[in-house]
Structure 1
Amino acid sequence: MKRQKRDKLSRAHAKGYQAGISGRSKDICPHTDLNSDTRSQWLGGWREAMEDRSQGVKQFL
């Protein structure tokens, strides 16, 4: 039986969140296409992490 991968958009969001919560710049986004859904999801995760950091959420990695 094959293992199913998580869908690309949720994975991009999670990776963006991880980058943001660890304080990395949004410029490191691996998705270069400016109009791609995966880039939007990655940046959305990054923004969410920045909000969490500003509200004092601790990093649990």
Structure 2
Amino acid sequence: MKRQKRDKLSRAHSKGYQAGISGRSKDNCPFQTSEARSEWLGGWREAIGDRNTGLYQ
């Protein structure tokens, strides 16, 4: 069986989360389409929330 790639929106959310955890600015979003950008920013916001609650240092 072939491995399926994760869909692009899921990957955008994951990349946004990683950016937020590492402390990068939300202005660094690499996506241009509104759907992918929205997912990236959602992941970024989630990561910032996790950092503020102390899950990551």
What are the ranges of 5 or more consecutive residues in structure 1 without an aligned counterpart? none
TM-score, structure 1 length as denominator? Answer: 0.83
The structure carrying a bigger helix percent of its residues is 2
- How far apart, CA to CA, are the structure 2 residues paired with 1:18 and 1:37? 18
Tell me the alpha carbon deviations over residues 5-29 of structure 1, each in whole angstroms, 9 at most, x when there is no partner: 1001110000000000110000110
One-letter amino acid matched to 1:23: G
Q: Which residue of 2 aligns with 1:31?
A: 31
What are the ranges of 5 or more consecutive residues in structure 2 without an aligned counterpart? none
Show structure 1 runs of 4+ deviating over 4 A.
Answer: none
TM-score, structure 2 length as denominator? Answer: 0.89
Offset of 1:2 from its aligned partner? 3.9
> CA-atom RMSD, angstroms?
1.3
Q: Percent identity?
A: 75
Q: Which residue of 2 aligns with 1:20?
A: 20
SS of 1:48 mapped into structure 2: helix
- How far apart, CA to CA, are the structure 2 residues paired with 1:23 and 1:17? 10
